[in-house]
Amino acid sequence: MHHQNAEISAAIAATLDLRRPEYRDMPQAWRSLCEAAYVASLPEAARADFLNRVTTQRGADTALRLREHAASIRAKVVQFLDRRNACMHPSATASPADAEAC
Protein backbone atom coordinates (compact mmCIF):
# COMPACT_ATOMS: atom_id res chain seq x y z
CA MET A 1 0.00 0.00 0.00
CA HIS A 2 1.28 3.46 -0.88
CA HIS A 3 0.97 6.14 1.78
CA GLN A 4 1.25 9.85 1.19
CA ASN A 5 4.27 11.48 2.82
CA ALA A 6 1.96 13.78 4.81
CA GLU A 7 0.27 10.73 6.34
CA ILE A 8 3.63 9.21 7.23
CA SER A 9 4.88 12.51 8.68
CA ALA A 10 1.76 12.91 10.81
CA ALA A 11 2.11 9.38 12.17
CA ILE A 12 5.78 9.98 12.98
CA ALA A 13 4.91 13.22 14.80
CA ALA A 14 2.18 11.46 16.80
CA THR A 15 4.63 8.71 17.75
CA LEU A 16 7.17 11.28 18.94
CA ASP A 17 4.51 12.94 21.10
CA LEU A 18 3.71 9.59 22.71
CA ARG A 19 7.36 8.68 23.29
CA ARG A 20 8.52 12.04 24.68
CA PRO A 21 8.01 11.11 28.36
CA GLU A 22 10.30 8.07 27.94
CA TYR A 23 13.18 10.45 27.15
CA ARG A 24 12.67 12.95 29.97
CA ASP A 25 16.19 12.58 31.40
CA MET A 26 17.94 11.64 28.16
CA PRO A 27 18.33 14.81 26.09
CA GLN A 28 20.97 13.41 23.72
CA ALA A 29 18.90 10.30 23.00
CA TRP A 30 15.84 12.51 22.43
CA ARG A 31 17.76 14.72 19.97
CA SER A 32 18.97 11.63 18.14
CA LEU A 33 15.44 10.24 17.90
CA CYS A 34 14.05 13.59 16.75
CA GLU A 35 16.68 13.95 14.04
CA ALA A 36 16.04 10.41 12.77
CA ALA A 37 12.28 11.04 12.87
CA TYR A 38 12.77 14.28 10.93
CA VAL A 39 14.75 12.43 8.25
CA ALA A 40 12.16 9.63 8.18
CA SER A 41 9.40 12.15 7.56
CA LEU A 42 11.09 13.73 4.53
CA PRO A 43 10.24 12.79 0.94
CA GLU A 44 12.88 10.57 -0.67
CA ALA A 45 14.78 13.30 -2.53
CA ALA A 46 14.90 15.55 0.54
CA ARG A 47 16.09 12.61 2.67
CA ALA A 48 18.95 12.00 0.25
CA ASP A 49 19.90 15.70 0.24
CA PHE A 50 19.82 15.91 4.03
CA LEU A 51 21.93 12.77 4.41
CA ASN A 52 24.45 14.08 1.86
CA ARG A 53 24.84 17.22 3.97
CA VAL A 54 25.29 15.10 7.11
CA THR A 55 27.95 13.06 5.30
CA THR A 56 29.82 16.23 4.35
CA GLN A 57 29.48 17.95 7.72
CA ARG A 58 29.58 15.10 10.23
CA GLY A 59 31.00 12.10 8.38
CA ALA A 60 29.81 9.01 6.56
CA ASP A 61 29.47 6.89 9.71
CA THR A 62 27.08 9.39 11.27
CA ALA A 63 25.07 9.65 8.06
CA LEU A 64 24.84 5.87 7.79
CA ARG A 65 23.59 5.49 11.37
CA LEU A 66 21.08 8.28 10.81
CA ARG A 67 19.89 6.76 7.53
CA GLU A 68 19.42 3.34 9.13
CA HIS A 69 17.56 4.77 12.14
CA ALA A 70 15.31 6.87 9.88
CA ALA A 71 14.61 3.89 7.61
CA SER A 72 13.64 1.80 10.64
CA ILE A 73 11.27 4.49 11.92
CA ARG A 74 9.69 4.96 8.50
CA ALA A 75 9.27 1.20 7.94
CA LYS A 76 7.57 0.76 11.32
CA VAL A 77 5.21 3.67 10.67
CA VAL A 78 4.30 2.41 7.18
CA GLN A 79 3.69 -1.06 8.63
CA PHE A 80 1.43 0.46 11.31
CA LEU A 81 -0.48 2.47 8.69
CA ASP A 82 -0.90 -0.63 6.52
CA ARG A 83 -2.35 -2.59 9.44
CA ARG A 84 -4.58 0.30 10.46
CA ASN A 85 -5.92 0.73 6.94
CA ALA A 86 -6.48 -3.01 6.56
CA CYS A 87 -8.52 -2.99 9.77
CA MET A 88 -10.53 0.04 8.69
CA HIS A 89 -11.11 -1.20 5.14
CA PRO A 90 -11.07 -5.01 5.13
CA SER A 91 -11.04 -6.66 1.76
CA ALA A 92 -13.91 -8.82 0.55
CA THR A 93 -11.64 -11.85 0.90
CA ALA A 94 -10.56 -11.06 4.49
CA SER A 95 -10.99 -13.90 6.95
CA PRO A 96 -12.17 -13.61 10.57
CA ALA A 97 -8.56 -14.29 11.59
CA ASP A 98 -7.54 -11.11 9.75
CA ALA A 99 -10.08 -9.12 11.77
CA GLU A 100 -8.76 -10.59 15.03
CA ALA A 101 -5.27 -9.32 14.18
CA CYS A 102 -6.65 -5.79 14.30
| Number of domains forming the structure of the chain | 1
Alpha helices, DSSP H, located in 42-59: 44-58
Q: Domain limits at 72?
A: 5-101
Tens-place pLDDT, residues 18-27: 999 999 999 9
Tens-place pLDDT, residues 21-75: 999 999 999 999 999 999 999 999 999 999 999 999 999 999 999 999 999 999 9
- Whole-angstrom distance, CA of residue 39 vs CA of residue 59: 16
Phi and psi torsions of 84, nearest 5°: -60, -45
- pTM of the entire predicted model: 0.80
**DSSP assignment of the chain:** ----HHHHHHHHHHHHHHHGGGGTT-HHHHHHHHHHHHHHHS-HHHHHHHHHHHHHHH-HHHHHHHHHHHHHHHHHHHHHHHHHHHHHS--TT--HHHHHH-
